[in-house]
């Protein structure tokens, strides 16, 4: 079969195409974005009629995939780890429904390269009581898509598919399989399956519980989990996903002297873990992320032997796992690279030169300087870098700017200004604005419209060309929906608009609109 050199993200995408996938619905978020983009750009996917969409948010994306499952076809939804919080409602209920042919790919971000936290998605999968896959390399990333769909259809369950940043964005060779045809439309035989009235849900929840033994059996028999024997029983090592590679980097010839349990499929393979625990004096758990396995086995085994890992900080609890940290935990010499030259200095990230947000923040800073206790509530996007300009005071999660501004205004903060991007507004800002309107909050909402989802690579904004109509439809007084082109020549006009709307006792929306400079350059080069 054909060999390809692919990123981990791309391997998953090609696996989806080859495994008979029919639709991929996602929301962009680093490090998962390239999965969906690969399918969108694939000539092969287009020829096969595969649907590939960016959705308004992760919740709507997963719900679309559940709809595809209802029609009997294979679907995949991709997001970053914090996106799973947004999709939490359909995620948990999909487990109870028992959806077939659904893969939920979640890219975690240990060390927070581009995220607010190090949330480990495996806890969600454990909470929902569904199988999980966690490949250790790009070939497994490709193969596990095929396996994941088969697992989902055989056991009538959605499958959580977890990858960390390092695997998502590193490249290796993969061997393709023969492509599989898409499923024909086939609706559920049980008319109650997708109707979660309490009477139905109680039955299906019991069914989910009863499936747990089958999930564990599959985990122990699939071949993706392995017990690798070793001669030195003083230490037994448990690795999860990419952590296996970090371990083996310390043994160039591929011969680790210690017994290893390699875990890439969940639930935990208890038979392997029991064998390791019984044979070895101490246990070391290596996992890239939070101490998920370590916490589970301490409760499961709990027979007095020492279990080391992130909980006791044998491996530092925060940050990305790597070969050096593994070497240190094993008491092996740690290889370090050349020192960083003194001429190289850290630079904080900054908005691009010519970015429209710079002009917006310059006007906002000038106006807010006149108020002693005024606050600006920020949001998630490249405009978060306005913090480095002293322009925003908070950033919590997608869409929080508007609702935080509302809450603060109601207890006396004035002026209370929310700054949100057009993409984030479409994702989760609309409901917050509706709250402001319903409560007649005294807030100014600035929707920074650069006509794209800038931070994740220029995907289309779900609210593009609709912002004014959306705001009017929600109930904002049209006289207090103001647009302006953020440029230096319009600075004084921008300042005046801000002052007028702050003085207005009610909900105001200001839309500074100018295309992202990076995106504008793309248009010029076409």
Below-50 pLDDT ranges, the chain = none
Rounded distance between C-alpha atoms, residue 428 and residue 29, angstroms: 14
Q: What is the pLDDT of residue 260?
A: 97
pTM of the model: 0.86
pLDDT of residue 41: 96
pLDDT at site 24: 97
- Contact at 8 Å (CB) between 87 and 49? no
Q: Residue 318: its pLDDT value, please?
A: 83
pLDDT of residue 352: 85
SS3 annotation, 168-227: HCCEEEEECCCCCCCCCCCCCCCCCCCCCCHHHHHHHHHHHHHCHHHHHHHHHHCCCCEE
Residue 331's pLDDT is: 86
> How confident is the model at residue 271, as a pLDDT?
92
* CATH 3.40.50.970 segments of the chain: 3-210, 356-524
Q: Could you tell me if 250 and 325 are in contact, meaning their C-beta atoms sit under 8 angstroms apart?
A: no
Judge: domain 356-524, CATH 3.40.50.970.
yes
The Cα 9–Cα 21 span in angstroms is 16
Which two tokens mark 170?
């590193």
pLDDT for 517: 81
pLDDT value at residue 456: 73
Say if domain 226-329 classifies as CATH 3.40.50.920: yes
Q: Record the tokens describing residue 413, joined without a space.
A: 């903060």
Residues 63-93: pLDDT tens digits?
999 999 999 999 999 999 999 999 999 999 9
pLDDT digits 0-9 by tens, 500-515: 999 999 999 999 999 8
How far apart (Å, rounded) are the C-alpha atoms in residues 394 and 375?
A: 9
**What fold is seen in the domain 3-210?**
Rossmann fold (3.40.50)
Give the integer Cα–Cα distance in Å for 110 and 119: 8
- CATH 3.40.50.920 in the chain, residues? 226-329
The confidence score (pLDDT) of residue 15 equals 97
Q: Distance between CA 446 and CA 401 in Å, rounded?
A: 10
The residues near 26 (Cβ < 8 Å, ≥ 6 apart) are 32, 35, 36, 53, 54, 55, 58, 61, 77, 78, 79
Contact 425, 447 (CB under 8 A): yes
pLDDT at 262: 97
Nearest to 140 by CA among 3, 30, 12, 35: 12
Angle at 116 between CA 114 and CA 120, to 5 degrees: 95
């Amino acid at each position: 079969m054909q060999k390809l050199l692919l990123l981990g993200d791309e391997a998953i995408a090609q696996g989806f195409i080859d495994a008979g996938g029919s639709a991929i619905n996602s929301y962009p978020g680093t490090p998962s974005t390239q999965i969906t983009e690969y399918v969108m750009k694939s000539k092969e996917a287009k020829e096969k009629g595969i649907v590939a969409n960016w959705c308004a948010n992760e919740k709507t994306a997963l719900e679309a995939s559940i709809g595809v499952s209802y029609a009997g076809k294979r679907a995949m939804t991709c997001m970053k780890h914090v996106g799973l919080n947004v999709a939490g409602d359909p995620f948990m209920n999909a487990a109870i429904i028992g959806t077939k042919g659904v893969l939920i790919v979640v890219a975690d971000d240990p060390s927070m390269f581009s995220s607010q936290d190090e949330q480990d998605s495996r806890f969600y999968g454990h909470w929902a009581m569904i199988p999980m896959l966690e490949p250790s390399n790009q070939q497994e990333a490709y193969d596990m898509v095929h396996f994941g769909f088969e697992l989902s259809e055989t056991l009538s369950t959605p499958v959580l598919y977890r990858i960390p940043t390092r695997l998502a964005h590193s490249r290796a060779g993969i061997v393709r399989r023969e492509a599989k045809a898409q499923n024909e439309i086939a609706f559920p035989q049980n008319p109650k399956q997708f109707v979660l009235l309490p009477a139905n849900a109680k039955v299906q929840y019991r069914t989910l519980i009863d499936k747990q033994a089958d999930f564990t059996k599959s985990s122990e028999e699939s071949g993706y989990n392995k017990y690798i024997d070793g001669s030195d029983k003083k230490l037994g090592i448990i690795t999860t996903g990419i952590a296996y590679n970090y371990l083996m980097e310390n043994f160039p010839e591929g011969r680790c002297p210690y017994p290893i349990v390699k875990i890439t499929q969940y639930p935990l393979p208890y038979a392997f873990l029991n064998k390791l625990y019984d044979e070895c004096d101490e246990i070391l758990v290596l996992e890239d992320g939070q101490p998920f396995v370590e916490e589970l086995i301490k409760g499961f085994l709990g027979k007095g032997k020492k279990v080391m890992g992130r909980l006791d900080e044998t491996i530092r609890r925060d940050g990305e796992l790597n070969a050096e940290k593994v070497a240190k935990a094993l008491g092996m010499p740690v290889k370090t690279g050349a020192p960083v030259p003194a001429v190289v200095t850290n630079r904080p990230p900054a908005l691009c030169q010519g970015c429209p947000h710079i002009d917006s923040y310059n006007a906002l800073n000038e106006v807010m300087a006149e108020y002693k206790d005024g606050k600006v509530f920020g949001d998630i996007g490249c405009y978060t870098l306005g913090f480095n300009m002293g322009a925003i005071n908070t950033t919590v999660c997608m869409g929080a700017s508007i609702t935080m501004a509302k809450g603060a205004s109601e207890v006396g903060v004035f002026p209370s200004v929310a700054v949100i991007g057009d993409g984030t507004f479409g994702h989760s800002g609309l409901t917050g604005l509706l709250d402001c309107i319903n409560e007649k909050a005294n807030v100014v909402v600035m929707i920074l419209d650069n006509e794209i989802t800038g931070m994740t690579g220029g995907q289309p904004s779900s609210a593009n060309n609709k912002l004014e109509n959306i705001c009017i439809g929600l109930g904002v007084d049209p006289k207090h929906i103001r647009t302006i082109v953020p440029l230096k020549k319009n600075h004084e006009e921008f300042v005046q608009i801000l002052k007028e709307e702050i003085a207005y006792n009610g909900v105001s929306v200001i839309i500074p609109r100018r295309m992202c400079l990076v995106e504008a350059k793309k248009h010029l080069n076409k």
